[in-house]
A = this chain, B = another copy of it.
Amino acid sequence: MDRDLAAVSLPGRVAGPGEGISPEELALAARNHGMPLEALRYRLTPPGLHYVLVHYDIPAAEAADWRIGVGGLVRTPLRLTLADLRSYPSVTLRVTMECAGNGRARLTPRPVSQPWLVEAVGTAEWTGVPLRTLLREARVESGAVEAVFTGADHGVERGVEQDYRRSLPLGVAVGDDPEVLVAYAMNGGPLPPQHGHPVRLVVPGWYGMAQVKWLCDITLTDTPFTGFQQSVAYRYRQSADEPGEPVTRIAPRALMIPPGFPDFMSRTRVLRPGRTGLEGRAWSGHAPVVRVEVSSDDGRTWHDAALDVPEGGGWAWRHWHTAWTATPGSHVLVTRATDADGRTQPLDQPWNRGGFGNNLVQRIPVVCLPDGT
């Protein structure tokens, strides 16, 4: 690698004890953004509030010029315009999407990367063509084992120059549960630039790294893909030198709309004594959420929140609510989701070197003011 490039594209690292957020992490945090937690009030996340993570730059992509190739181990290679895509029967799915690195900046020690706290989530309705429709038309050959998806965003990561590229096992790519979409609309309109304009992949139930944006190529291969984003990044590992396990589906998580009002700088919540509604949403990429618990004493005791009837299909978050009687003093509210597979959120951090799939429970410090203030 070029010496100048080596100096600016460093290996992954973990922050030292007490090391504050670095200028590089801040530069990522200023570009990418989470969903302000009060936006949990919206069933569908309004434009600009859905979380965004862009590895490199948002490409300058024009819908009129866009082509999507389907090639490799297929009998009928395709080269599709956006009009071609729109000519197929479409499917609309409501999908809660979350970044695999959500929660990373709360870990000790902290993996140095995009420093998410808990808000890298959002829910949208995505419209597109089922991937299996396109693969059927392209007539996948029998030796194919994976589909590799290439996005148009280009950059360097840990010394490796690359287009953003990820694969799915063939069984997932041609399956219908989840129904994988080649999507061209978000909440009924064209995709915004930062969400993959004009076309992206949507893999319901999987973390964001699978949802390749600015999708320009689909290639069927007879060997598993070993590119950077598959075999170097997005692996659960304890140390840098082990192969690790791939990051795939979203672990369960519940989030609460922080009650009361915030202090500008500390973001601590302030409220007044009395009964106050608590509500939020919960999701899992493995199975439906069947239980949400809430604690108002930092996890010492718990009670069950009421779960509203699921709406929008199996891939969207589920609304929950309960109430709490606030008394003067400091409290810590905690919430925890459990899914139908029995997966639940840990109370202690499940550390891994990339800071992936971390679904440690949300903790909301609250100050309740004295009566009459």
Which residues on A are within 8 Å of B, measured CB to CB?
Answer: 2, 4-5, 7-10, 19-34, 36, 38-39, 41-42, 46-50, 52, 54-58, 60, 105, 112-113, 115-117, 119, 154-158, 161, 192-195, 258, 261-268, 270, 328-330, 365, 367-370, 373
Q: Which residues of B contact A8 (CB under 8 A)?
A: 263, 266, 268, 270, 365, 367
Kindly state the separation between the CA atoms of A268 and B4 in the bound complex, as whole angstroms.
Answer: 11
Known: A8-B266, A8-B365, A265-B112. A119 touches B24 (CB 8 A): no
Known: A48-B192, A156-B264. A36 touches B9 (CB 8 A): no
User: B270 and A156: CB pair below 8 A?
Assistant: yes
Q: Which residues of B contact A22 (CB under 8 A)?
A: 20-21
* Closest beta carbon of chain B to A34's beta carbon, Å: 5
Known: A2-B369, A4-B329, A36-B57. A154 touches B117 (CB 8 A): no
Q: Which residues of B contact A370 (CB under 8 A)?
A: 2
| Copies held by the complex | 2
* Closest beta carbon of chain B to A175's beta carbon, Å: 31
Q: Which residues of B contact A105 (CB under 8 A)?
A: 23, 26
Q: Which residues of B contact A32 (CB under 8 A)?
A: 33
Kindly state the separation between the CA atoms of A192 and B46 in the bound complex, as whole angstroms.
Answer: 7
* Closest beta carbon of chain B to A119's beta carbon, Å: 6
Q: Which residues of B contact A36 (CB under 8 A)?
A: 31, 54, 57-58, 194
Quick one: closest B residue to A57, CB to CB? B38
Q: Which of B25, B116, B262 contacts A156 (CB 8 A)?
A: B262
Q: Which residues of B contact A25 (CB under 8 A)?
A: 21
* Closest beta carbon of chain B to A323's beta carbon, Å: 18
* Closest beta carbon of chain B to A136's beta carbon, Å: 34
Known: A29-B29, A36-B194, A367-B4. A155 touches B264 (CB 8 A): yes
User: B58 and A39: CB pair below 8 A?
Assistant: yes
Quick one: closest B residue to A58, CB to CB? B38
Q: Which residues of B contact A33 (CB under 8 A)?
A: 30-33, 52
List of 10 A-B pairs having minimum Cβ-Cβ separation, nearest first: A20-B20, A48-B48, A33-B33, A21-B21, A8-B268, A29-B29, A157-B264, A4-B367, A47-B47, A9-B263
User: A193 and B119: CB pair below 8 A?
Assistant: no
* Closest beta carbon of chain B to A69's beta carbon, Å: 21
User: B58 and A154: CB pair below 8 A?
Assistant: no
Q: Which residues of B contact A117 (CB under 8 A)?
A: 26-27, 30
Q: Which residues of B contact A52 (CB under 8 A)?
A: 33, 48
Known: A26-B21, A115-B26. A49 touches B155 (CB 8 A): no
Q: Which residues of B contact A29 (CB under 8 A)?
A: 26, 29-30
Kindly state the separation between the CA atoms of A369 and B2 in the bound complex, as whole angstroms.
Answer: 7
* Closest beta carbon of chain B to A65's beta carbon, Å: 15
User: B262 and A56: CB pair below 8 A?
Assistant: yes
- Beyond known contacts A28-B265, A29-B29: 14 more, CB 8 A cutoff: A20-B22, A21-B21, A21-B23, A21-B26, A26-B29, A29-B30, A39-B58, A39-B193, A47-B48, A48-B50, A49-B193, A57-B258, A155-B262, A156-B261
